[in-house]
Every structure is written in C-alpha cells, then in structure tokens.
Structure 1
C-alpha cells in the first residue's frame, strides 16, 4: 500500500525568480510500481545508473516514485498543477484505491485553501493527475474541489478521451473526476500551439505528446529564471540515463521517447529547474550531459512550516 509523506503544513518549495513552487505530497508509491510502470528499468539497469541512489532508487535497483501536485504562486495567482489521486475513490489499483490522505490540509498549509485557487492545470487526464479535481458533494456524487478555479487541459487531450474506447475503470475516473468539472462550466480546453501557449503571466503549456496525445508540460518563467514541470513526459530520472525507456501506459511509446529526448536536449546544461511529477524527493534538479545521455543533479527545496498557533 502507498505510504504517507510529510505531515500537513510542511512542503518543500523552490523560488523561480519571483515565482514560488511548492510540492504538495499525496503518497509514496509502493515498490512494485516501478516494474509495472517502467518494465525496461530492470534492477541491473537501475544499478548501473549509480547516480540514482539513494534519492531516486535503492541499492537493490528498486525505483522510488511518488504522487504529488505543484502549487505555484505567480503574478498574484494561485495555480495548482495536477491534482493527484484523490480521497475515497474506487480504483482497481490498490495503491490508488479509497485513499484518505491529508492532501487538502497540506495544500492549505502553504496558503492554498481550496476556495483560493485560481487555476488548475491538468497536464493530462490520467487517474493519478485528476483525482482531487473533485470531492464528495454529500449526496453520493462529486463536486469541484476548487469552486472558483478555472480548470484547464489541452483540447487534444479532452477530445482523445471523449472518443477513445475505454474500460470501465477509466470511464469511472472520468465520471467522478472530470465530468463534474465540465458540468460546472469550469473546464476550459486550450488549443496548445507547437511552440507552446501562454495561459498566464510566466506560465506556458508546452506540448509533450506520446504518453497521451494531448499531454503538456508546464514551463515557468520569472525574472530571468525558469523551470519545467514534466507531467508524465518523464516518469523517473532513470529515463534521463536512457530516454528510450517507456512507460507501460504510453499511448504512443515511439513518440513519447522522441518527446523526452527533445525536452532533455533543450534543458541539458542550462539553469532551468526540472520538477518531476512522479520524482521522489528531492523531486527537482538540473539536467546535465552525462556521456552520451543525461543525469539529474538534485536541487532540494526548502521546507516551509506553518506558523505556531
């Protein structure tokens, strides 16, 4: 079963110019997630990539993976990037099923009470990225968790799932975590250009197709500094060492690998901070050329604790 992370009210945070990015923890994923998600990242492959230990893998070659959101304070806006798995939802994956975590308390601990969130960015419409879109409405249904927020995702992503032949579990996820936002009028579909599309001051959606057709990464720019939140373009730092390693749930693995290579080539040896949507702590780092591939140099966030009452 998944394990809880930090207590409510503490969150690692990074400054990117005048923008602050907080990691809002939901769960650490169990060890068996790695072999299922990245079957090519076998223990010997991971052990050969010795810079992964101890943060991103253990000495036995077991990958460390987590689920979290990023809460971004920028230009007077409170922006949430992805919303995790959610509480009390029926899921076939036991690591996601019927969770009860203090996610909302963690979010409020950095000043993001649900009523204060202005914008929710959904990098793609997978179960572990949309769950806290909604919470129980008290009548057996679901209502948007962030009542005043504009929820955005790419139009390509939404159109794909509207037309895809999906199983019952994904149909349930869309019904409990996406459709209530659509019904409330809060879902806003964005046409994302090849070069990226600005959605707010210092925030740009960048197309990263392959894992899903309309997946996006989120580029942050402020006062001459920059960061990129990966979505599932990169699930784990082992994919820096071998960008050809693909997820078992990539819709188009070849395209996903090309997208990953292009993104890493753009970030390599720059000062742009990479924040992985499933990277275990310390979660962020700088991409550096390492032989004929890449490695991640960790950049831990500072921990903010709430004031004593």
Structure 2
C-alpha cells in the first residue's frame, strides 16, 4: 500500500512530507509525563489534531522534501527497510512501500541535491540507504549528505558501549557509512550556511550535537526542528524532556531559547514527528505561556 504524501507550499518553497508510519503508540514511552490528565490542562492542545479523542498523543515518522530555487533538500529520512536493530525489534526489518511511493508520484531520487539529518538516531537516517543484492546503496545517489561533524564524531568515536549504543553502531553501518564510502558525505558545523536560504541552528540536547534546519525565502522563514520537540505539547511545556534525550536539561534549554526567539513572530515552526498540518506559529498568551497555532499549507 502506498504511503501518505502531503504536498504544501510556503511562499515560493514547495514542501512534501512522505509519512512512513504513525507513532501514536510510542508516545507514552517517549513523553511519559504527557498523560491525558496533563494534556486536558492545555486548552489549545486538547482540541487540536495533535491528540486523539482520549487525549493521547499523535505523531508520525516522516521525511520532509524542501524544493527551493534549483535545490531539492531531503530532511530526516525515517526508519527505512531491512534495518537490523537489536534493541528496537518493533522497527527492524520493515517493508514500507517507501521507494514505490516515490516512484508512483513521479519523484526522481536523482533530483535530490542535498540530504540533511538533524541527528543520527535510527528513525532519522533510515532511508539514507536501501538494501539490494546484499549491499546498502545511497537512496539519493546525486545528493550531498550533510551531517553535523560533532554529531558524527560522537557516534563514531565517543559513544559509550551499551545495548542502546551498540544498536546505533549498527545504524551507522547500515545508514551512514555506505554514504561516506560512496563519497557523498559532507561534514558541517552546527551553524553552517548551506546556501539558497538554508542554514542550520544548533539545538543540542536530544543528541549531543542535534541541529535544526532554517529556511528563509523572501519574507518567509520556517524551521524544521528535528527532534528538538517530539510533539507540540513540548511547546506548551518546554521542560517536558523526551525520555531518551542525551541531556534533558540541555534539550529543555534549546526549546526555551528557540521559542523565546520565534514567539510572536511570523516564523513558522515544525518538528519531524508533528502530525499534519505540521507547521504553525508560536505565540505567547497573556500568562506568558507558549501557544502553538497550526496552519494548513497543503495544496
């Protein structure tokens, strides 16, 4: 069955989201403090499309495609197929019709000029590669794959050995090293300017060198925040840190800094796992609390 594809336009920038799978069932593990009782207290959220009728959380594993000028950026590449994931059997050996969906909608993988991974967790690098004839091949063979140098160095050289990290060594073997061997990797600073209005923002905490992606085109600016937030409830509650954050204090600080900077501006914000309509504006209410107003830009 073909996957859901959402096409949008923000100003002159074309955006496509390829939704790999829903993640609703995992949120009690991701954000255990976000109980229905706590969500009930957040007026703007409890009536939004970001929660189910029982006030449990909604979210997706999805890839963003951003077309700006003559560049085609792919941002965060989901879980992928055929991945061997020791500690994550529920995401291992998947059979998503991801490539078939791209073919069906006429999306040419050779047209992708840039791939950006906000961090190197397994659900953000999976479709960097696909498995065929016993070999992992780059999914986007004409693209530069941009990785934050500090992020790569930590996973490659520094990460301590435990079951969780051993799994992620396998992730590197399957989804990152094949790209490097193909000569497609480009290691960048966490605040790099990639041209055509695309730049990076350092938002550490979920991982040691997590980045967000900022797109400026004319008068319009939007930010794709990766896993800086896993759900819009973290906009209302920036101190609600995800269970697997590398540093919960640091991820909270990154959220607070981001929302302070963009609140009550025209900057649009989303994160990789937000349910569509995924983009919105952050405002402060009369109590100084952050409110997220989603806007539907789909065509």
User: TM (normalized to structure 1)?
Assistant: 0.89
The answer (yes or no) to whether the contact 2:228–2:271 under 8 Å persists in 1 is: no
Task: Give runs of aligned pairs for residues 216-227 of structure 1, distance below 5 A.
Answer: 216-227=211-222
Q: Which runs of 4+ in 1 moved over 3 A?
A: 7-10, 105-112
Paired residue secondary structure (1:259): helix
Q: 2:114 aligns with which of 97, 112, 119?
A: 119
2:183 is aligned with 1:158:
no
State the partner residue of 2:289.
293
SS of structure 2 residue aligned to 1:178? helix
Corresponding position of 1:254: 249
Cα pair distance change 1:171/1:209, threshold 3 Å: same
Q: Are the structure 2 counterparts of residues 158 and 276 from structure 1 closer, same or farther at C-alpha, using a change threshold of 3 Å? A: same
Query: In the alignment, is residue 85 of structure 1 matched against residue 79 of structure 2?
Result: yes
Residues 155, 29 of structure 1: CA spacing in aligned structure 2 closer, same or farther, 3 A cutoff?
A: same
* Selected match of 2:66 from 62, 72, 78: 72
Partners of 2:118 and 2:209 in 1: CA distance? 8
Number of equivalent positions: 292
Distance verdict in 2 for CA 1:12–1:48, change over 3 Å:
farther
Normalising to structure 2: TM-score of the pair?
0.92
2:33 is the counterpart of 1:40? yes
- Which residue in 1 is equivalent to 2:92? 97
Most deviating of 122-131 and 95-104 = 95-104
State how 1:172-187 maps to structure 2 within 5 Å: 172-187=170-185
Residues 232, 277 of structure 1: 8 Å contact kept: yes
Whether 2:129 is the aligned partner of 1:134: answer: yes
**SS at the partner of 2:40?**
helix
User: In the TM superposition, what whole-angstrom CA distance separates every residue of 1:223-266 from its partner, at most 9, and x where no partner exists?
Assistant: 11110001111111000111000011110110110110010111
* Residue 268 of structure 2: aligned partner: 273
Q: How has the CA–CA distance of structure 1 residues 111 and 197 changed in structure 2, closer, same or farther, with 3 Å as cutoff? A: farther
CA RMSD of aligned residues (A): 1.8
**Aligned-pair CA distance for 1:146:** 0.9
Task: Note closer, same or farther for the CA distance 1:262–1:281 as it changes in structure 2 (3 Å cut).
Answer: same
Q: Identify the residue that residue 243 of structure 1 maps to in structure 2.
A: 238
Q: Where does structure 2 lack aligned partners over 5 or more consecutive residues?
A: none
